[in-house]
Amino acid sequence: MATAGTEAPVVKGLEGVIAGETAICNVEQSALIYRGYEIADLAANATFEEVAFLLLEGHKPSKDELARFKKELIAERDIPEMVKQNLRHAGELVNKHAAVPMDILRTAVSVCGHFDPDCQDNSAEANLRKAKRILAKVPTIIGHMQNAIEGKDFVAPDASLSHAGNLLWMMTGQKPSAEDEKVMDVSLILYAEHDYNASTFTARVIAGTLADMHGAIVGGIAALKGPLHGGANEAAMEMLSDIRRDIGPENDPKKIADWMQKAFVEKRKLMGFGHRVYKNGDHRAPILHGLGRKAAEKRGPEFVKLFELGEAVQKIMEDEKKIYPNVDFPCGMTYFTMGIPVPQYTPIFVASRVSGWAAHVMEQHANNRLIRPRAAYTGPDLMKWNG
């Protein structure tokens, strides 16, 4: 039966569909650009705070603007006592498998909204203030959560540390080395923004209803949890752990090849590879791989072997399937080398991507139209209820 909404071709997953306009990010085969700046340039020369300012306030910060922005973030790192009380139960919930860290983080950000004086105000000025508050508080939430999981006391945010450094401090209770802080900082830059990806599009759809910033960010977190999106970094590390368990501690080339062939035959989805846009490789992946490899070499042979295993898997995928790693593949190995618990990989993604989400929410609110596509109906023909 002919129905409305079937005139245009159906594109599963909206692949290749241009769903809107943005001045925030340009994702191309040849480049990834944040407001005019290419990702390799930013990774080599900027800090995450500078990139977050660029995304949220729309231009490269001056020295004074950056100092002001950092001061604003540091002032907003603490979280409401009610959220702290909830996080104290995080360990029990996670250890009972009743929740995972992304669930805990999603709920905590939502509760923070209840205490934000601007929560219901969608003006540009209020949105910017909320964006900075959420950005500042996410590392604190992650850190308190991890401390609760490990049965440790909470540590207070450290005003002397950068966003990346404070995130590591909050999780471990130890001041990070300059190298670890740099690696984390660059990873946050790489993850900060990526145009209309699944979580960003989710946040824009929510913002398009004129819902508030916290609601849109919470929706973004929920979308990012999935293993086909943000959760891919965790899944990639779990895949490498599976390979290591099956083949043993030595990187025997034949055993690795046999494992991969078995995975191909079984049509196992190998996480951390392929990208909807980048068909010839993710620009971010080699940047993070290089930093992670250097960190592994300083930590010892077992970590170098992990990267060597990853490189062998990557070569097989490229040679036999012409499929290249995305940024999640080196991320898993890099964070593991830094001693970060695997279930916190995706929450750390949030600590970065919230800057991009918030920029898109503000852009959507500034020039809004409700996002409401049509569907092609595939159900039964018209029938009579009493027929």
Report the distance separating Cα 48 and Cα 7, nearest Å: 45
Q: Judge whether 289 counts as a catalytic residue.
A: no
Q: Judge whether 180 counts as a catalytic residue.
A: no
Query: Among 118, 180, 328, 360, which one carries the catalytic annotation?
Result: 328
- In the chain, the N- to C-terminal Cα span, in Å, equals 18
Residue environment code for 334-366, b if the CB has 16+ CB neighbours within 10 A, otherwise e: bbbbbebebbbbbbbbbbbbbbbbbbbbbbbbe
Report the distance separating Cα 65 and Cα 46, nearest Å: 14
- Encoded tokens for 182: 């740099």
- Encoded tokens for 11: 């594109």
- Sign for the CA dihedral angle at 366, 367, 369, 375 comes to negative
Query: Among 163, 214, 275, 289, which one carries the catalytic annotation?
Result: 275
DSSP lists the bridge partners of residue 26 as: 33
Query: Among 78, 103, 121, 229, which one carries the catalytic annotation?
Result: 229
Q: How far is CA 35 from CA 18, 142, 326, 364, in A?
A: 18, 28, 22, 16
User: What angle separates helix 284-299 from helix 328-337, to the nearest 10 degrees?
Assistant: 20
Report the distance separating Cα 135 and Cα 73, nearest Å: 7
Check if the beta carbon of residue 236 is closer than 8 Å to that of residue 269: no
Q: Judge whether 229 counts as a catalytic residue.
A: yes
What letter represents residue 156's amino acid? A
Give the residue from 337, 200, 210, 342 showing the smallest Cα distance to 271: 342
Query: Which residues are known to be catalytic?
Result: 229, 275, 328
